[in-house]
């Protein structure tokens, strides 16, 4: 059995979060397929993530001059073998704190753009929103997908769950739960 180290990054500020509940089910399904799966979950909300100041010093150094919790997150990203990002859609994009983390990947972008990429790892994105049309998810999906890509992670699966307007909707929505289970089974099979 292959040991898989999954890193889950969650962005919702809600206590009864739909995206977090959906991600827990995704992980539970993965664990059925691979009992050797270990999971580290990071809620970005209590962490210090300052915005990128666009100093561009990272163009040469490939390192950020800002000292905060981003470096800890990046260490976990580097050691994980699978990465799952769970987020609500806020105004057609990622919530502010997640977007701040994404923008702080400018050092990784410079490395990536010079072709200094490592072996690709697999990633998944789980998004929830009130609306249920494709365009609602495009912004957040592309932002997160590019964050994963510059960090050497290929987005294998994106699960979008609409009609998640209030708290705790996901745990009552059997269709959404089936969608998550199906996506997790496919993710585990590849």
Ligand X SMILES: Cc1cc2nc3c(=O)[nH]c(=O)nc-3n(C[C@H](O)[C@H](O)[C@H](O)COP(=O)(O)O)c2cc1C
Residues near ligand X, by CB under 6 A: 12, 14, 17-20, 88-92, 128-131, 136, 164-165
* Residues found in the chain: 190
Least separation in angstroms between residue 143's CB and ligand X is 13
Please give the helix or strand (H or E) that residue 117 lies within, else none: none
Measured from the CB atom, the residue of 49 and 176 that comes closer to ligand X is 176
Using DSSP bridges, classify how beta strands 153-161 and 4-10 pair: parallel, antiparallel or unpaired: unpaired
Measured from the CB atom, the residue of 18 and 58 that comes closer to ligand X is 18
Q: Collapsing DSSP states into helix, strand and coil, what is residue 64?
A: coil
Q: Collapsing DSSP states into helix, strand and coil, what is residue 39?
A: strand
Measured from the CB atom, the residue of 106 and 173 that comes closer to ligand X is 173
Please give the helix or strand (H or E) that residue 187 lies within, else none: helix 174-189
Least separation in angstroms between residue 90's CB and ligand X is 4
Least separation in angstroms between residue 170's CB and ligand X is 8
Dihedral (CA of 152, 158, 163, 164) sign:
negative
Q: Which residue is nearest to ligand X (CB)?
A: 88
Measured from the CB atom, the residue of 52 and 89 that comes closer to ligand X is 89
């Amino acid at each position: 059995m292959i040991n898989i180290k999954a890193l889950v990054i969650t962005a919702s500020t809600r206590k009864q979060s739909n995206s977090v509940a959906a991600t827990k089910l995704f992980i539970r399904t993965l664990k059925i397929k691979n009992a050797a799966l270990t999971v580290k979950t990071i809620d970005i909300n209590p962490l210090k993530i300052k915005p990128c100041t666009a100093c561009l010093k990272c163009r040469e150094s490939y390192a950020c001059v800002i000292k905060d919790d981003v470096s800890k997150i990046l260490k976990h990203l580097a050691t994980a073998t699978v990465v799952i990002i769970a987020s609500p859609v806020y105004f057609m994009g990622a919530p502010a704190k997640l977007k701040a983390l994404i923008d702080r990947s400018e050092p990784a972008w410079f490395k990536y753009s010079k072709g200094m990429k490592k072996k690709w790892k697999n990633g998944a994105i789980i998004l929830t929103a009130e609306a249920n049309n494709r365009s609602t998810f495009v912004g957040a999906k592309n932002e997160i997908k590019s964050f994963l890509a510059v960090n050497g992670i290929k987005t294998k699966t994106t699960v979008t769950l609409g009609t998640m307007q209030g708290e705790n909707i996901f745990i009552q929505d059997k269709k959404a739960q089936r969608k998550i289970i199906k996506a997790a089974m496919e993710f585990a099979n590849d």
